[in-house]
Amino acid sequence: MLRLLLLLTIILATQPTFAHEYHRAAVDSSATEIPDRVVLNWSGDPATSASVTWRTYIHITEAAGEIAIADASTNFSTHRTIEPAITEIWQQGDHAANFHSVTFKNLKPNTLYAYRVGSGKVWSSWFQFRTAQAEAAPFTFIYFGDAQNNLLALWARTIRSAVLDAPHADFLLHAGDLINRANKDSNWQEWFESGDWIHAQIPVIATPGNHEYAKQGEDKPRVLSSLWRPHFTLPQNGPKGLEETVYYVDYQGARIISLNSNQDRDLQTPWLEKVLKDNPNQWTFVTLHHPIYSASARRDNKDLREAWKPLFDKYQVDMVLQGHDHTYARGNNIGEGVTMKDKNNGTVYVVSVSGPKQYKLRDDRWMDRGAENSQLYQVISVEQNILHYRAMTAVGELYDAFDIIKQDGQPNRLIERIPSDKPERRWKNTLEKKNKDEKVY
């Protein structure tokens, strides 16, 4: 018996510690009295409002947010105002939590605010954010493709590297598949823990992917995760029934439109045309999960392309930011065929992946730059009539870059800035597993 215990001790001691740590963190998703999963969104005008959502255990039934103009003196907190929270319960099997949300209104444009959330004697730390300017002005945002798998173990480095690279980013855009299993609470725990305070200070714009949709059973349509709307407070200006998945936000001279490529395409099409037609902004970005032009083999979203690309062309959408295909691909001036070029269309289409799950690029290529086996994030900056774009690897290497210059009465002009010393990343020239049978954490 003693020999058996000694043998078990040796076996446990020699197991990789990173695997143990990953599994421990992945299952620890219990809510407590301390506010967690704090996330900053916009549900109204970013210049005068901000929305915050967080979670506690179910015994916290009355919560609030406090906000004040930030100041170097700690006395700023004595000037705070209090906003009572809306509280809803989430329950799944033996697991339950209360989700709380507040929308701070009547804020001053271009002003640094501090806020905290909580109840009684238990509060979060004070977080800071700046409201948008009321008129067009330069801004920067970070765009992420699918995070999805091994979030705390391997996606966390991508979001953290991105924010260190662009620390003054005005918002983060996620093109779907934030998590892998729609209703698995521990997946959401990893997503929030990976970003930690980042989600609480930099506003999040998110669109749902297919992995935010859960199976109901045979011959039944998938349904949106029961944790999507509790976690986020997003605009409700989309078609009825698709609120907080189909919406738009106007930010400093740009319109950012979220489309839900998982359901009700026909319901979204007339709404999309109206939002594009009645657009007073100089720049237009669209995000959706399933690519208009697929980047991976044996995939083609023809129905989406036929429904929405003519509108992107007609109203000269500047960029379409997508996920789903677990590769990197970027191209513009694309016609109806997968590899054709159309000189009358300047829209740039990007597919990207920020997590560790990786696919192969398709052979019939429409893209001007592609990558396989690479975690990336994208930094996009707009200043008047010029857009600067950088695609960066998770280790901070510049992989793709270009500028877009708006020209009055003409299609956008694209200037390539692909680094000449970086060959295209493919499976054959990127890092392989050292031990092919070893699971990746």
Instruction: Give me the average pLDDT of each 10-residue run along the chain (441 residues).
Output: 43 37 52 97 98 97 98 98 98 93 98 98 98 98 98 98 98 98 96 97 98 90 96 98 98 98 97 98 98 92 95 95 97 60 72 97 89 98 97 98 92 94 96 87 73
Longest dimension (CA), the chain: 84
Domain 36-130 matches domain 139-429 at the CATH topology level: no
CATH superfamily of 139-429: Metallo-dependent phosphatases (3.60.21.10)
pLDDT for position 211: 98
Instruction: Report residue 273 CA to chain centroid gap.
Output: 24
pLDDT for position 306: 95
pLDDT for position 409: 84
**What percent of the residues of the chain are helix, what percent strand, and what percent coil, each to the nearest 5?**
20, 30, 45
pLDDT for position 337: 46
Residue ranges per domain, the chain? 36-130, 139-429
Strand duo 139-144 + 127-130: pairing: unpaired
- Report the predicted TM-score, pTM, of the whole model to 2 decimal places: 0.92
First to last CA, the chain: 34
pLDDT for position 140: 98
The residue ranges of DSSP E strands in 35-131, in sequence order, are 36-41, 50-56, 64-69, 81-84, 86-92, 95-104, 112-119, 122-123, 127-130
Give the contacts of 161 (CB within 8 A, at least 6 positions apart): 377, 392, 394, 395, 396
pLDDT for position 332: 84
- Topology (CATH) of 36-130: Immunoglobulin-like (2.60.40)
